[in-house]
Amino acid sequence: MSVTLWFPFLPLFLLEIGARNDSDAALWMAMALTGQGLGRLLAGPVWGMVSDRVGRKAMFLRALFATGVVTLGTCAVTAPWQLVITLTLFGLLSGFTPAAIALASVSVPDAGLKSAISTVSTGQFIGQAIGPAIGAGLAILVGYRGSLAVSGVAVLVVAMAVVRYVPRDTVGTRAVPTTGKAGEGDTSRTPVLEPFRMTLQLAMPILVCGILFGLGGFRSVSTAIALKQIDASNAIAHTGVAFALAGLSSALGVVMISTAAFRNRRLRSVLAVSAMLSAGSYVFLALSTEVAFFIAALTLASLLNAAMIPATNTLIAMNAPRSRRGTAFGFASGAQAVGTMAGPLAAAAFAATSLELGFTVVGGLMASLALLIVLVVREPKPEHPAP
C-alpha cells in the first residue's frame, strides 16, 4: 500500500518537476525504472544468496528499511534526473516482495506452501488496491511530495513491526565434530546448503515472473498517459480510480482464481488460461476511446495477470530446494528487474508513436506465452505432501 501511494503518479510528478511534455515524462520514467531494474538485476541474486546464509527475515528487514529511507529521500528531488538516481538506489537496496515470499516459503511446511504464498500475494494486492485511492487524495491535498513522505514513514513503521512480531527463520545447518583436546567429543552447527541448479522447470516460472512485472511496468507508465490523452482535465482522479480498481481486481484474482486453482492442483492451467484471456484484455485497451472503457479493460488485465503471480511464485518455490529458496527468488528478482526495465521502455517508445499499437503487441505476447506454458510447464509434487 505504501509504495502505491505515489508510484502510479510518477509520470505526473515528472511533469511537475521539469518534464517538458507527456513523451518526455514517459522517457524520464522509463530511464528511472531502467535504473531501478539495473540495480535490482545486479543486487537481487546477490541478496537472495545472502538470505540463504544469514536468514530471510534479515533480508526482508534490509529491504523494508531501505525502501523507507529512499522513499523519504525522493521527497527532495527537484529535477527528473534526480528521480533516476533515487529509483536506482531503490533497485539496489530494496526488493521487499521477493524477500517476503522467500521468508513465507520457509516459514511453513511444504504442504502449506501454496496457501502461504497465496496469502502473501493477497495482502500485496489488497495494498495495491487501497494505495492509489489514498495516494490520489494525498496528491490533491498535500501534493506528490506529501504522498512520498507518508509512504516513507509508513514503510519504516512496518519495518519496526516486523522486528517486533515476525519470528526469525532458520538456515540449513548440520552438526560437525569440533577438534582439539578441550572440545573432544563436542559438536557445533555449521551452515550447509543444498546444490542449486537452474532447471528448465525453474527457469520457466522465473521467465513468466519477469514478463508479469514487465507488464506491470508497462501499465504503470502507459495508464496515466493514456488517460491524460483521453481526458486531460481529470487525469489525476482518473489515474487514482484506475489503479485502485486494478489493485482491487488483482486481489480478487488472487483470492478467487488462484485459490481455486491451488485446491485443484492446476497451476499450469491457471497460468495458460489467464495468459490467453489477458491477451484479449490488452486488445480491448488498444480499442478504448472512453475513460470508463479503458479502466474496465485495465481492471480485467490486472485481475488476470495477478491471478498468475501466486501460481508462478509457488512453482518457483516447488522447483527449488528448501534451503535455496532465497537464491531462487533472488533470480526471480533479477527477472523482475529485466521486466521493470523492458516494460516502461516499451511504454515510452509506444507513447511517442502509438499506445494503441503497444497494447496490441502486448496482447500478442501474452497469447504466445500461453502456448509456451502449455508446452513446457509441469507441476512438481511437494517434497512433503499433506497426510
- Is 258 a residue whose pLDDT tops 90? no
Report the share of the chain in percent with pLDDT over 70: 90
Check residue 156 and give its pLDDT. Answer: 95
* Backbone φ, ψ for residue 352 (5° rounding): -80, -15
Q: What is the domain range of residue 158?
A: 3-168+197-376
Let me know if residue 152 belongs to a domain.
yes
- Is 89 a residue whose pLDDT tops 80? yes
Let me know if residue 182 belongs to a domain.
no
Let me know if residue 385 belongs to a domain.
no
251 neighbors 309 (Cβ within 8 angstroms):
no
Let me know if residue 331 belongs to a domain.
yes
- Is 155 a residue whose pLDDT tops 90? yes
Let me know if residue 56 belongs to a domain.
yes
The set of residues, in sequence order, having a beta carbon less than 8 Å from that of 329 and lying 6+ positions away, is: 48, 98, 99, 101, 102, 105, 313, 316, 317
Spatial separation of the C-alpha atoms in residues 4 and 133, rounded to whole Å: 9
Spatial separation of the C-alpha atoms in residues 102 and 73, rounded to whole Å: 27
Q: Is residue 386 very low, low, confident or very high in pLDDT (cuts 50, 70, 90)?
A: very low
Cell 491535498 belongs to 141
Check residue 190 and give its pLDDT. Answer: 52
- Is 157 a residue whose pLDDT tops 90? yes
Let me know if residue 309 belongs to a domain.
yes
Q: How many residues does the chain have?
A: 387
Decide: helix, strand or coil at residue 210.
helix
Spatial separation of the C-alpha atoms in residues 147 and 70, rounded to whole Å: 14
Check residue 177 and give its pLDDT. Answer: 53
Which alpha helices (DSSP H) does 199-352 contain, by range? 200-230, 235-252, 259-263, 267-287, 291-318, 325-351
Spatial separation of the C-alpha atoms in residues 202 and 295, rounded to whole Å: 34
CATH number of the domain encompassing residue 311: 1.20.1250.20
Q: Is residue 13 very low, low, confident or very high in pLDDT (cuts 50, 70, 90)?
A: confident
- Is 17 a residue whose pLDDT tops 80? yes
Q: Is residue 384 very low, low, confident or very high in pLDDT (cuts 50, 70, 90)?
A: very low
> How large is the average pLDDT for residues 208-212?
93
Spatial separation of the C-alpha atoms in residues 316 and 202, rounded to whole Å: 6
> How large is the average pLDDT for residues 265-271?
79
Let me know if residue 110 belongs to a domain.
yes
Kindly report, residue by residue over 163-181, the tens digit of the pLDDT.
Answer: 999 888 877 554 445 555 4
Q: Count the domains in the chain.
A: 1
Spatial separation of the C-alpha atoms in residues 44 and 381, rounded to whole Å: 27
334 neighbors 134 (Cβ within 8 angstroms):
no
Let me know if residue 178 belongs to a domain.
no
